[in-house]
Amino acid sequence: MNHNFSFISGWIRSGSRLLDLGCGDGSLLADLTSSHNVRGYGLEIDSGSIEKCIARGVNVVEQDLNRGLDNFADNSFDTVVMTQALQAMRYPHLVLDEMLRIGSECIITFPNFGSWRTRAYLAFRGRMPVTKQLAYQWYDTPNIHFFTYSDFEALCQERNINVMHRKFIAEQFPDNLLKNLWPNLFTETAVYHLSR
Amino acid sequence: MASLSLQTPAKSIGLVSPQKVLIDKPLTLACGTVLPTHELVFETYGTLNSDKNNAILICHALSGNHHAAGFYEGDSKPGWWDHYIGPGKAIDSDRFFIVSVNNIGSCFGSTGPTSTNPATGRAWGADFPSLRARDWVESQKLLMEHLAIECWAAVIGGSLGGMQAMRWSLEHPDKLLNAVVIASSMKLSAQNIAFNEIARRAIKSDPNFCDGNYLQQNRAPLHGLALARMIGHVTYLSDEALGKKFGRELASGDFIGSTEDPIEFQIESYLNYQGDKFSSNFDANSYILITRMLDYFDLSREYGNSPVSAFEHAQCNFLLISFSSDWRFSPKRSQEITDALITAGKNVSYTAIESNQGHDAFLLPNDRYQKTLSNYLRRVADQLGAA
């Protein structure tokens, strides 16, 4: 998973305790450790990713997020991060609750299924969208919960989650120009900074 | 990028020979007894660099010894961790100076129950003082001073060896940079202690045990010790591993009556062989002593029973490794250590290796295990600027 979320470093305080859920090859943690001196830990289940983390000296713990996070105490981290993995969780809303229990703040990124591109794909081809971001067939995708920007906004409201920052990412034209006007139609990836 | 040659386990370190040192400093044991001097047998692999910062200490477990890698003249079997120690291997003797010591109380040449008690002129036998894991650490510390090593690049051990590595991190936090804790636990469970007690009782029930003073009478509780080992051995293996290796295959006899030979399953024959082999190489008093040391080990007892408070004293980085089918020190035990280290804010990585080999997996070849150890230690070596 490539990460182009360097701007979230602006939301992270220097020297803070950071937990990265589904940390992949540990590049985000490695960057934030060198730039912000964070005390970071990543959770991951993919053995190849774990090996990469260990090779680059990132703290990585083998743990299946779907089996819960109850080994982490309330408020034990300043920030809990999850990039591009919420849609792969069995119960995303419970994971979100857990993240906000463990961390004072959370940063979440997810692919926006409401983008006009995925809508058009489904509407005109009649097939489940396979895009650069969602590069799987319906039968082998780890992404088992598709949701949109608007869905996530509604979830935050329902669960009394405070949105500190939101940022919309789109690289293609004209999405990159329109994403802030109509986020649900033109955002490829949404990034949220949350607290309770 | 790593060179390709590091990906394939290379040859063995080759011929090795043990060294013996008389530690001429008093060692005060946790039980209060003072050993005015003691002897340690050890092996080293690789070369200590001029900065003396590339040393790794290998901590053995219950029945282990100093012969961790390489071959003795005329032997066909290498040391007990030869899969992982050697040139180009995970614990790389081309980059590290590796020290492997037989600990006191054991029976491979270091001071233990079979040594002479200077006070009586006879073998210590059952009178050898009770030991704790910290006593092994303190004795290893004296060896460290003898070798003029100021700080270990890493202290590495599986099972009871991992307990020593953790104890090192608390007792001498500035004397190690990394602790690699494999298939270990912060304390034994009731089930663990139960198996150890069955083993001890097996030994003590042997008429040749003579209350532990069998050496004076030129006897040895071989039968009891073999039985103890057989029990222990089963707990080191998984049901699946035993099933795969032996199934219900017969070593002799059959079920159709075509032979007079008694029916014996291969697992019976294997276990009996292992038990007998062990009892001819190991000392019964050492077995009792070291199983007790395991039972008494409790990392956080003196820290208000709080593993987090205990690990707050540590300064080194930790690597934790467990094996999925290990039911002696299951992955849950390693997860507990990891959780405490994270809460204490220490650097820790933890990986749970898929394996059907049970507790013994830490000694056996496993691709992912090997890669994890290699990746971790390669980085340690790179950071030291070692060759």
Average per-residue pLDDT for chain B: 95
Q: Which residues of A touch B368 (CB under 8 A)?
A: 47, 51
- Model pLDDT, residue B144: 98
- Model pLDDT, residue A187: 94
**Percentage above 70 pLDDT, chain B:** 97
Residue pLDDT, tens place only, B86-114: 999 999 999 999 999 999 999 999 999 99
More confident residue, A8 or B378: B378
Beta strands in chain A (DSSP E): 17-21, 39-44, 60-62, 77-83, 103-111, 162-169, 189-195
Say yes or no to pLDDT of B9 above 50. Answer: no
Architecture of domain B193-291: Orthogonal Bundle (1.10)
- Model pLDDT, residue A132: 80
B110, B115, B139, B159: the catalytic one is: B159
Say yes or no to pLDDT of A161 above 80. Answer: yes
Q: Which residues of B touch A17 (CB under 8 A)?
A: 345
Q: Where in chain B is the domain with CATH 3.40.50.1820?
A: 4-186+304-384
Task: Identify the band that residue B3 occupies on the pLDDT scale cut at 50, 70 and 90.
Answer: very low
Question: Residue A79, class by beta-carbon neighbours within 10 Å (0-12 exposed, 13-18 middle, 19+ buried)?
Answer: buried
Whole-angstrom distance, CA of residue A52 vs CA of residue A132: 24
Q: Where in chain B is the domain with CATH 1.10.1740.110?
A: 193-291
Report, as an integer, the average pLDDT of B189-207: 98
CB B56 within 8 A of CB B97: yes
- Model pLDDT, residue A9: 86
Task: Identify the band that residue A133 occupies on the pLDDT scale cut at 50, 70 and 90.
Answer: confident
Say yes or no to pLDDT of B218 above 80. Answer: yes
- Model pLDDT, residue A4: 65
Q: Is B332 on the interface with A (CB under 8 A)?
A: no
Inter-chain touch A55–B350, beta carbons under 8 Å: no
- Model pLDDT, residue B303: 98
Closest-CA distance, B344 to chain A, in angstroms, reads: 10
**Percentage above 90 pLDDT, chain B:** 94
- Model pLDDT, residue B291: 98
Residue pLDDT, tens place only, B241-299: 999 999 999 999 999 888 889 999 999 999 999 999 999 999 999 999 999 999 999 99
User: Which domains are assigned to chain A?
Assistant: 6-195 (3.40.50.150)
CATH of domain B4-186+304-384: 3.40.50.1820
Structure pTM? 0.94
Contacts of B271 (CB under 8 A, 6+ apart): B230, B233, B234
Whole-angstrom distance, CA of residue B7 vs CA of residue A153: 48
